[in-house]
Chains A and B, each alone.
Chain A
Amino acid sequence: MLDLFDFYDKMERNNILLSFKGDITSDLLTSILQIMESKMDNFQEEPKTKKKVYNVLVECLQNLYHHMDEAPVDSGEYGRSAIFMIGKLDGAYNVITGNYILNENVSGLKSRLDEVNSLTKDELKEYYKQILNNGEMSLKGGGGLGMVDIARKTGQKLHYTFQPIDEKVSFFSLNIKVTLNQ
């Protein structure tokens, strides 16, 4: 049987404010963003902090949204499902997302993340402008701008893992930290 207290205890210790597992829809994101805004209002966060966290949340969650249809829908065992958690611990907000990714797409995503992580603040600014001005706009979003934007706005490295699941898919998790008063 599922140990609910174990779940609760882990979430409590990591001070998880909100978590969700399932299909990521546009309406869901609208609601989540509204909930997080009112939570941050209740915490009386500075406008600057609220804006940064909100921006990062939008990018992280829309990333999930846009990549939902990359999940191997033909096999019911994975389905259109992803997970995210938003926590506040030791003076920082954490946005954690997890979703399935096809194995053939792992190395491409990994090298993009590593490239973003290798750049300095000024290099990120130049890279952002370069993608913005020259990159191809896809129907799915900003054509790779999201991760660059997150790295720019948080001033932090993108922490990620790829967990191999089977011969088809891996599980990609991304942990973004937004520190306050930076």
Chain B
Amino acid sequence: MEKFTLDGTPKTPTINFDLGSGVLEIKGRSIPENSIEFYKPLVDNLEKYGLSPKPATTVNVQLEYFNTSSSKCILDVFKKLEAIHKGGSSVTINWHYEEDDEDMLEAGEDYQAIISVPFKMVQVAE
């Protein structure tokens, strides 16, 4: 089964995308100076996956921090998922936030307002 994975660094998140099972996980920090460069391989893989997606696609986003440069790229990732959702695969985005992190919850709600994909806000303990 095909997988796309990237190990996390102090400035970039861990990415696990199992194209065979339709599960994408983005976890950690996303504060690179050049976000476009970092997210391009993921966006490319989503495009490839979108050609023959699984019936259900699950996306788990658990970010501790992300910068505004990443926020646009994350939106691009979500737009790809929106297209996949419209194309017939049922996509769910689980947006995780730590219980005291109102900014992260609000950031998730901002995306929820822009993207036509079901979002679940998942509170996690610190």
Residues of A within 8 A of B (CB): 26, 29-30, 33-34, 46-48, 51-52, 54-55, 58-59, 62, 65-66, 125, 128-129, 132-133, 135, 137, 139, 141-143, 145-146, 148-149, 153
The 5 A-B pairs at the shortest CB distance, nearest first, are namely: A142-B68, A145-B68, A141-B69, A137-B72, A48-B100
Q: Quick check: which of B31-39, B54-62, B87-95 contacts chain A, the rest being far away? A: B31-39
25 contacts between A and B (CB under 8 A): A30-B11, A33-B10, A46-B100, A47-B98, A47-B100, A48-B101, A51-B65, A51-B103, A51-B104, A58-B31, A58-B65, A59-B67, A62-B67, A66-B33, A129-B110, A132-B71, A132-B72, A132-B75, A133-B75, A137-B36, A137-B73, A139-B34, A139-B36, A142-B71, A148-B68
Chain B residues with CB under 8 A of A62: 31, 33, 67, 69
Question: How many residues of B are counted as interface, with CB atoms below 8 angstroms from the partner's CB atoms?
Answer: 25
Chain A residues with CB under 8 A of B69: 62, 141-142
- Do B72 and A145 touch (CB < 8 A)? yes
- Do A47 and B126 touch (CB < 8 A)? yes
Chain A residues with CB under 8 A of B31: 33, 58, 62
Is B51 close to A, CB under 8 A?
no
Chain A residues with CB under 8 A of B1: none
Chain B residues with CB under 8 A of A128: 110
Residues of B within 8 A of A (CB): 10-11, 31, 33-34, 36, 64-65, 67-69, 71-73, 75, 98, 100-101, 103-104, 106, 110, 113-114, 126
Chain A residues with CB under 8 A of B110: 125, 128-129, 132
- In Å, the complex CA distance between A29 and B69 comes to 15
- Do B72 and A30 touch (CB < 8 A)? no
Chain B residue at smallest Cβ distance from A49: B100
Interface SS majority for chain A: helix
- Do A133 and B33 touch (CB < 8 A)? no
Chain A residues with CB under 8 A of B72: 132, 135, 137, 142-143, 145
- Do B68 and A141 touch (CB < 8 A)? yes
In the assembled complex, how far is the CB of residue B39 from the closest CB belonging to chain A, in whole angstroms? 11
Chain A residue at smallest Cβ distance from B76: A137
Given contacts A51-B103, A62-B33, 11 further A-B contacts (CB under 8 A): A55-B65, A58-B67, A62-B31, A125-B110, A132-B75, A137-B73, A139-B34, A139-B36, A142-B71, A143-B72, A149-B71
Chain B residues with CB under 8 A of A142: 67-69, 71-72
- Do B68 and A59 touch (CB < 8 A)? yes
- Do B114 and A133 touch (CB < 8 A)? yes
**Candidates A29, A54, A145, A153; contact of B33 at CB < 8 Å:** A29
- Known: A62-B67, A132-B72, A145-B71. Is A55-B103 also a contact (CB below 8 A)? yes
- In Å, the complex CA distance between A65 and B11 comes to 15
- In Å, the complex CA distance between A141 and B33 comes to 7
Chain B residues with CB under 8 A of A59: 67-68
